[in-house]
Amino acid sequence: MRYRFLAILLIVLSCSSAYAQKGEPPETDWLALMPMADRKALEDMPEITHDTPEAPGGFNNLGGLKQKDNSLPEVMHSTRTVAALNGKTIRLGGYPVPLESNAKGDFVEFFLVPYPGACIHVPPPPPNQIILVRYPKGIPLPDIYEPYWVIGPLKIEKTENDLAEASYTLDATKVRKVEEADL
């Protein structure tokens, strides 16, 4: 099966909305997290193929989002960030990859990625398209294929664990599911 990373990214972005709940900042585009040179490299990138969910490096195998496929263009491993976003409060829509839960089973830490299935059977996004979200209040995340809004100050802070490398962190003040009214 073949598809273009950029096409999927653009589909996610096309689901953006002018709607925001009262008091929420306007939506930040995922591409705004990439320096202009990385955006251009994405536009010029050749098609990418991927294997089935059972292929090595899937979510349940060591590697997950941290897979380093040397056949992919360098932009797919980019950690470059946009300095102007450091400390800015944003609202970003994406898909959760659960990491750490509290005693109630609500997730207090998760990665946010721009498209669903990023940790299972498609090439993972580059680190500058993965955000470590910290949300001390916690939220249940029953389905990684449901999109969520996260709101809070974005920080340029490189984070790495066994699953992924992220170029940004966000200490969320609010996390909510994307609702039909948002679209």
CATH number, domain at 46?
2.40.50.870
In whole angstroms, what is the distance from residue 145 CA to residue 127 CA?
A: 20
Yes or no: say if 112 and 79 are a contact pair by the CB < 8 Å rule.
Answer: no
Domain that holds residue 111: 2-182
User: Which of 5-9, 19-23, 147-151, 164-168 is most confident?
Assistant: 147-151
pLDDT at 98: 94
Q: What's the mean pLDDT in 31-47?
A: 85
Could you tell me what percent of the chain has a pLDDT over 90?
53
List the one residue out of 83, 72, 80, 101 whose CA is nearest residue 165. Answer: 80
Say if residue 56's pLDDT is above 50.
no
Q: How many domains does the chain have?
A: 1
Q: What's the mean pLDDT in 33-45?
A: 86
pLDDT per position as a tens digit, 65-74: 555 666 666 7
Q: What's the mean pLDDT in 87-116?
A: 96
Say if residue 59's pLDDT is above 60.
no
Q: What's the mean pLDDT in 78-82?
A: 93
pLDDT at 53: 46
In whole angstroms, what is the distance from residue 123 CA to residue 104 CA?
A: 32
